[in-house]
């Protein structure tokens, strides 16, 4: 069944009502342009489970009551009350369940405060731009509000460089381990008094002065879900999340940031446990375009001054420069392998599969190395040798 909805998702029309709509009108004080309505198709296979209120025995959608089956099984005896019964119940008789922490309950850090401020400023500028385009007031223009940025994880760790890297760069005295910080940054939005986790980013920071990884950042994983409201701010907010982190890192002394552009395959989950089936995963070229938009915005704001790739920096006959620009992280983009010549010959350094990479001030984005599957051995059944009986028979 087809229907038409408002770009902001506030109103819905069936096909008959859509045909009767004027080209331009007003619904509940909101201007509606018929040509801007989005056509969608309802999926008959989608089923919403129902739950019954324990008091009035009326049935409601499970999502409407915010009922969590996993928590109900864990906390046995959980009562389901609809909003009407909750309003009629005296305050002292409402069962108090275990309260989950809100996004604002987690401690704020200077990094999270800086990123949150930059995102709010970028959203406000976009809001004014949309209002000027549509010739409406800023107060009537919807925007992405109630955004919270928190550093959920920060731990100091060590990264082993490996014997082959130490042997290849033996003239530079590569240490066996490099100290680093691993962090997890999260973006939340409060929608209808519920905190939604929208964007997660894993980073590794190496602030120490070492022959390699000096003042270097490695953005290892990015993951998101399309639940930010309104949807037209999603791309802007997610890009500003990454750019504001790079801007803060630049202010505290970091000079380079590496970032891999590796789109996930169907069924792969990077950080978040699952994604909605209607979410479209970007391919390699759109993902590179998404990162290049961040680079262009950062260059215009004076945050990013160089866009290059790792192959040109390290593999074009620049041995002295390779030690300074090669990164030693747990996920290796380059591997050192010994050649097939006799012992004592020089080793070869290079990517197993070359791909163009995006580097912002040596910020890169390319596919990680993937190990090939071992060949399958085929065992042919036959008579045991010397009349021996196989074990287990």
Convert the pLDDT of each residue in 284-327 to its tens digit: 888 889 999 999 999 999 898 888 777 776 666 554 555 555 66
Rounded to whole angstroms, how far apart are CA atoms 336 and 124?
Answer: 48
The pLDDT of 348-365, averaged and rounded, is: 36
- Average pLDDT of the chain, as a whole number: 76
In the predicted structure, residue 378 carries a pLDDT above the cut 80: no
Convert the pLDDT of each residue in 143-185 to its tens digit: 888 999 999 999 998 888 777 777 777 777 777 888 889 999 9
Share of the chain above pLDDT 70, in %: 75
Burial class (CB in 10 A: 0-12, 13-18, 19+), 214: middle
Which has more pLDDT, 112 or 215?
112
The pLDDT value recorded for residue 215 is 85
Q: Both ends of the chain: CA-CA distance in Å?
A: 62
- Element (DSSP H or E) covering residue 190: strand 177-191
What CATH number belongs to 50-99? 3.30.40
Length of the chain equals 393
Strand partners, 12: 5
**Least confident piece of the model among 208-217, 240-249, 357-366:** 357-366
Q: Which of 335, 314, 315 is nearest to 324 (CA)?
A: 314
Band (pLDDT 50/70/90 cuts) for residue 206 is confident
Per domain, the residue ranges of the chain are 2-41, 50-99, 104-272+279-338+346-360
**How is residue 29 written in tokens?**
């004080």
Convert the pLDDT of each residue in 34-57 to its tens digit: 888 888 877 666 677 888 888 899
Rounded to whole angstroms, how far apart are CA atoms 297 and 289?
Answer: 12
DSSP string computed for 6-44: -TTSS-EEEHHHHHH--SEEEETTEEEEGGGPEEEE--T
The pLDDT value recorded for residue 367 is 37
The pLDDT value recorded for residue 122 is 93
Write down the residue that tokens 């290079």 correspond to: 350
Rounded to whole angstroms, how far apart are CA atoms 163 and 161?
Answer: 7
The pLDDT value recorded for residue 348 is 34
**Least confident piece of the model among 22-31, 133-142, 315-324, 347-356:** 347-356
**How is residue 278 written in tokens?**
């209607």
Task: Read off the pTM.
Answer: 0.65
- Helices and strands in the chain: count of H runs, count of E runs: 9, 16
Which has more pLDDT, 130 or 93?
130
The pLDDT of 213-237, averaged and rounded, is: 89
What is the bridge-based pairing of β-strands 256-259 and 216-224? parallel
In the predicted structure, residue 241 carries a pLDDT above the cut 90: yes
The pLDDT value recorded for residue 262 is 80
Instruction: Note whether 124 and 237 are within 8 A (CB).
Output: no
């Amino acid at each position: 069944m087809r229907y038409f909805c408002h770009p902001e998702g506030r109103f819905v029309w069936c096909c008959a009502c859509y045909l009767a709509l004027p080209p331009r009108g007003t619904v509940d004080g909101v201007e509606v342009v018929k040509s801007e309505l989005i056509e969608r198709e309802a999926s008959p296979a989608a089923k919403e489970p129902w739950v019954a209120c324990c008091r009035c025995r009326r049935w409601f959608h499970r999502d409407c009551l915010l009922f969590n089956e996993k928590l109900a099984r864990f906390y046995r005896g959980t009562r389901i009350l609809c909003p009407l019964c909750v309003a009629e119940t005296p305050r002292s008789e409402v069962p108090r369940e275990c309260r989950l922490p809100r996004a604002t309950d987690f401690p704020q850090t200077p990094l999270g405060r800086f990123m949150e401020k930059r995102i709010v400023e970028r959203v406000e500028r976009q809001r004014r731009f949309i209002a000027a385009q549509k010739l409406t007031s800023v107060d009537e223009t919807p925007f992405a509000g109630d955004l919270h940025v928190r550093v959920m994880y920060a731990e100091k760790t060590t990264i082993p460089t490996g014997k082959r890297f130490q042997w290849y760069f033996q003239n530079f005295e590569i240490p066996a381990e490099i100290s680093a910080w691993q962090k997890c940054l999260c973006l939340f939005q409060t929608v209808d008094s519920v905190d939604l986790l929208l964007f997660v980013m894993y980073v590794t920071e190496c602030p120490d002065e070492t022959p390699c990884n000096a003042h270097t950042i490695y953005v290892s994983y990015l993951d998101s879900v399309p639940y930010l409201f309104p949807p037209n701010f999603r791309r802007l907010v997610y890009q500003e999340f990454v750019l504001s982190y790079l801007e803060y890192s630049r202010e505290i002394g970091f000079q380079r940031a590496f970032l891999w552009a590796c789109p996930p395959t169907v069924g792969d989950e990077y950080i978040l446990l699952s994604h909605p089936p209607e979410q479209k995963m970007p391919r390699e070229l759109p993902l590179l375009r998404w990162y290049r938009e961040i680079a262009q915005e950062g260059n215009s704001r004076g945050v990013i001054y160089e866009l290059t790739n790792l192959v040109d920096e390290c593999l074009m006959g620049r041995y002295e420069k390779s030690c300074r620009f090669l990164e030693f992280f747990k996920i290796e983009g380059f591997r050192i392998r010994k050649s097939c010549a006799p012992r004592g010959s020089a080793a070869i350094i290079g990517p197993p599969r070359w791909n163009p990479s995006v580097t912002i001030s040596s910020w890169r984005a390319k596919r990680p190395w993937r190990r090939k599957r071992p060949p399958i051995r085929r065992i042919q059944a036959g008579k045991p040798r010397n009349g021996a009986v196989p074990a287990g028979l």
